[in-house]
Amino acid sequence: MKEDCLHSRKVVIIGCGFVGAACAFALMQSGLFSEIVLIDSDHAKAEGEALDISHGVPFAKPVKIYAGSYDDVRDASMIILSAGANQKAGETRLDLVHKNIEVFEAVLPQIQKSGFKGILLVVTNPVDILTTVAQRYAGLPENKVFGSGTVLDTARLKYELGKHLNVDPRSVHAFIIGEHGDSEIAAWSSANVSGIELNRFCQMRGHLHSKKTMQKIAEDVKNSAYEIIEKKKATYYGIAMAVKRICEAVVRDEKSILPISSMIHNMYGVDGVCLSMPAIVGKDGVETLVPIKLNDDESEKLKKSAEMLKNVLGQHSKAIGAFHCLQKGLVEEEYFVQERPEKSGTSARIQ
């Protein structure tokens, strides 16, 4: 199918839990799409969410919202992949790896089989790990498969800085980079408020001991999800707004710079893993990464974040390898005979 056959204003949301439903609601209000398809393993749940959200259409712009199947995927311009287990109190995002790789084993072959050629946005956690998996097995070009990354974490950082400095958070320009999780990094060395270097702006606002405050803000941002989950069992409104913002950049071809999760190739000493760095995002997905200024400490933390993600991928290489077998029609034992690195103490190589 040619890309010009895609329905540019059709989006499919796979997974109608808290996050998927909140994304559908946010997108209904946005006016970005004229057709929103909801897919879930529990079809009745998808039908219920579609019906409930549709009742708000008279207060928004015209949009068709319905529960569908993978037959509806082929001509969509975007898929938002939010299927998977939710993070529970006491869990880290990385605790979800095995469960959600299993979910992706069921979902990704269906996407590939449909002939989908649009943009695949991964939202399911751990988003960096699952974006890496999706890039390998969705059958799409690398630039068209990316994750929501630290777009939400960055919004949380801007919100906290805006509150601290008593300025509009939209005037704050700062990024959270690396893993969407416990090893994420606040890139303070490139942070500014409307072009004014952050430390200088803090002094302008009467904050003379900003380093300690910045460290606290970074920790609060990192732990935001844990706090919300502890209080209300799940997070979904913030990520839904982050997804809407990413969709705006794609649908309108805005060339916006957003810290999405994408494959890193030989940048800051990082290679071969998906994590979040600022990137130009438009109608074709990830156009290019933006090399922001990092100091030595931030660069080192970024490398450690990448290594941690690679280690997690290595620990789950057998499950990912079995996924590879399912797609290739191989017996799992055969796969590991074929793919095992020669004379290496590591686990089977992930392709």
How many degrees, rounded to 5, is the angle at CA 183 between CA 297 and CA 24? 130
Among residues 98, 164, 173, 180, the one annotated as catalytic is 180
The alpha-helical segments, DSSP class H, found in 115-184 are 127-137, 151-165
- Cβ of 7: how many Cβ atoms within 10 Å? 15
- Cβ of 237: how many Cβ atoms within 10 Å? 14
- Cβ of 58: how many Cβ atoms within 10 Å? 7
Long-range contacts of 294-302 (CB under 8 A, 24+ apart): 294/187, 294/189, 294/190, 294/268, 295/189, 298/177, 298/185, 298/187, 298/188, 298/189, 299/268, 299/269, 301/178, 301/183, 301/185, 302/177, 302/178, 302/185, 302/268, 302/269, 302/270, 302/275
Q: How far is it, in rounded angstroms, from Cα 55 to Cα 22?
A: 15
Rounded to 10°, the helix 43-54/18-30 angle is 30
Token pair belonging to 293: 């200024």
* 207 given a catalytic annotation: no
Token pair belonging to 208: 């003379």
> Please, which residues have CB within 8 angstroms of residue 42's CB and are 6 or more apart in sequence?
16
Task: Let me know: does 45 contact 76? Beta carbons within 8 Å.
Answer: no
Q: How far is it, in rounded angstroms, from Cα 145 to Cα 126?
A: 15
Task: Give the active site residues.
Answer: 180
